[in-house]
Structure 1
Amino acid sequence: MTKMAGLRPEHFIWEMRGRVALIRLNRPERKNPLTFQSYAELRDCFRALAGATDVDVVVFASNGGNFSSGGDVHDIIGPLVGSPMAVLLAFTRMTGDLVKAMLSCGKPIIAAVDGVAVGAGAILAMAADMRLASPEAKCAFLFTRVGLAGCDMGACAMLPRIIGQGRAAELLYTGRVMTAAEGERWGFWNALHGAESLEAEALALAEQLAAGPVFAHAVTKTQLLQEWDMGLLAAIEAEAQAQAICMQTKDFERAYRAFGARQKPEFPGD
């Protein structure tokens, strides 16, 4: 178990708002591209969040009017051209490890996307549990535009489950921009908010989740991930076991007593 309040990352911005962690990339002059270093540091951060005792929810926000322009052309793509297979595979596995860490961190993640979220930036939004966007948000899985396959960092597994196979196939084959209106209609964005209120709306949702029951939220996140690989009968049994565990918490007992007293329950998370 660790505390994250004192985290001082070198390659992204980290803030604490109560028990909500706010993350944003820190190269707004270039629309916040990712580098080898920021990939690795974000991966390590989300891995550490799995054991964090002072963070209940994460907001991955935009900076300077943009979320992320993806892998930096000069800092990543250029050096990878002509690299041996071992180097290339180490890099692609590292980027995938960031998504794995986000999925496995045990904390709900809310993406607040303004401006561009393209390439790996679109993947970061996709890997969040919930996604809010501004009407100006432009999301593109543009890997085919640089001669790569659309199957990057889990996109071929995750995107069809969010927006449907046909829509995902079109975006992954063409690399075209998904407009904010399309994304909301298809269920990629949970809601659209004006750019001036986007981050506040994301933080308000995060604070609602941080009010608990946080242990049960962690179980929900775990089941959302693990049940992707389960058949229906196995999933029903897994949920029976997970719910029985939650019924042993004091949060469950408090909720029952608050209901009887006609009070709003409080959820310290034990």
Structure 2
Amino acid sequence: MNLADLAPRHFLWRMEGDVAIIRLNRPERKNPLTFDSYAELRDTFRDLVYAEDVKAVVIASNGGNFCSGGDVHEIIAPLVGRDMKGLLEFTRMTGDLVKAMLQCTKPVISAVDGVCVGAGAIIAMASDIRFATPRASTAFLFTRVGLAGCDMGACAILPRLIGQGRAADLLYSGRSMSAEEGHQWGFYNRLVEAESLEAEAIAYATRLARGPTFAHGITKTQLNQEWSMSLEQAIEAEAQAQAICMQTRDFERAYRAFAAKQKPVFEGD
């Protein structure tokens, strides 16, 4: 499958080499999500599993903000009138976006500027790497609208990133986590100035795209699957995964380049 010419209706998409850049496109409202953009993002990340032309993904900010979460008028208002079956259809669909991001086999880098709240904070959380500007403000604000903090995998993933106590603080209170807190706690990998945020994220993604991309997919799979394994199971799973990678041509290319004192050129097979 080739996604280079993808023309989504509900977000912006462009390719820079092997890197796909995604950005929500409602900057006048700080880029909220709608039913349609949720579903289209979910379907896009599902398709990325089969997209040989995309090696890495950057989720960028737009207009000085990342994402303000679910649109109050287009999502929250209609949900008030739904029955349990309809509500569960929605919450499962939003969770499916996170599952698709985790299972897409490509490194996903979020470049966060300004507002990053609600489902926007979840999208950043579900990414593999997170860059942010000093003015990034991140909040899992579900309790502030009368909901539980356990949304879209937050209670499973966030404690693994920043620790149980810090996650509990954010998920109970719904307060904003500053960029500096996020960096100190390990939520954000790097803080960069706004004018260089996207360029640095794309440069990082490009370096990954030039690496052994089949092996990157294995790394991502193991990072996610080993959450629920014992240490003994994880070591065995990694032994099998590494043996698979040793059958790739990239492994052979790396050896031959080392023997010739050259830099390996990986091709992802």
TM-score interval for Structure 1 and Structure 2 normalised by the shorter chain: over 0.9
The normalised TM-score by structure 2 is 0.99
The normalised TM-score by structure 1 is 0.99
CA distance in 2, matches of 1:235, 1:159: 21
> What is aligned with 2:242?
243
- CA deviation map 1:176-231 (0-9, x unaligned): 00000000000000000000000000001000000011010000001011111111
Within 5 Å, give how 1:31-180 maps onto structure 2: 31-180=30-179
Q: Shift in Å at residue 257 of structure 1? A: 1.0
- Pairs aligned (count): 269
CA distance in 2, matches of 1:82, 1:170: 31
Q: Shift in Å at residue 49 of structure 1? A: 0.4
Task: Specify the code of the residue in structure 1 equivalent to 2:214.
Answer: F
- CA deviation map 1:6-41 (0-9, x unaligned): 110000000000100000000000000000000000
> What is aligned with 2:6?
7
CA distance in 2, matches of 1:210, 1:255: 16
Which sections of structure 1, spanning at least 5 residues, go unmatched?
A: none
CA distance in 1, matches of 2:82, 2:251: 54
> What is aligned with 1:269?
268
Task: Specify the code of the residue in structure 2 equivalent to 1:17.
Answer: E
Task: Specify the code of the residue in structure 1 equivalent to 2:125.
Answer: M
Task: Specify the code of the residue in structure 2 equivalent to 1:39.
Answer: Y
User: What is the SS of the residue equivalent to 1:197?
Assistant: helix
CA distance in 2, matches of 1:152, 1:266: 41
User: What is the SS of the residue equivalent to 1:206?
Assistant: helix
Q: Shift in Å at residue 51 of structure 1? A: 0.5
Task: Specify the code of the residue in structure 1 equivalent to 2:172.
Answer: Y
Task: Specify the code of the residue in structure 2 equivalent to 1:118.
Answer: V
> What is aligned with 1:221?
220
Q: Shift in Å at residue 82 of structure 1? A: 2.8
Provide the alpha-carbon RMSD of the alignment. Answer: 0.5
- CA deviation map 1:36-85 (0-9, x unaligned): 00000000000000100100000000000000000000000001013100
Task: Specify the code of the residue in structure 1 equivalent to 2:174.
Answer: G
CA distance in 2, matches of 1:49, 1:147: 34
Q: Shift in Å at residue 262 of structure 1? A: 1.0
Task: Specify the code of the residue in structure 2 equivalent to 1:100.
Answer: K
CA distance in 1, matches of 2:196, 2:151: 31
Q: Shift in Å at residue 175 of structure 1? A: 0.2
Task: Specify the code of the residue in structure 2 equivalent to 1:136.
Answer: R
CA distance in 2, matches of 1:46, 1:56: 12
**Once the two structures are aligned, what percentage of the paired residues are identical?**
73
Task: Specify the code of the residue in structure 1 equivalent to 2:265.
Answer: E
Structure 1 residue 252 corresponds to structure 2 residue 251: yes
Which sections of structure 2, spanning at least 5 residues, go unmatched?
A: none
Task: Specify the code of the residue in structure 2 equivalent to 1:19.
Answer: D
User: What is the SS of the residue equivalent to 1:111?
Assistant: strand
User: What is the SS of the residue equivalent to 2:195?
Assistant: coil
Task: Specify the code of the residue in structure 2 equivalent to 1:45.
Answer: T
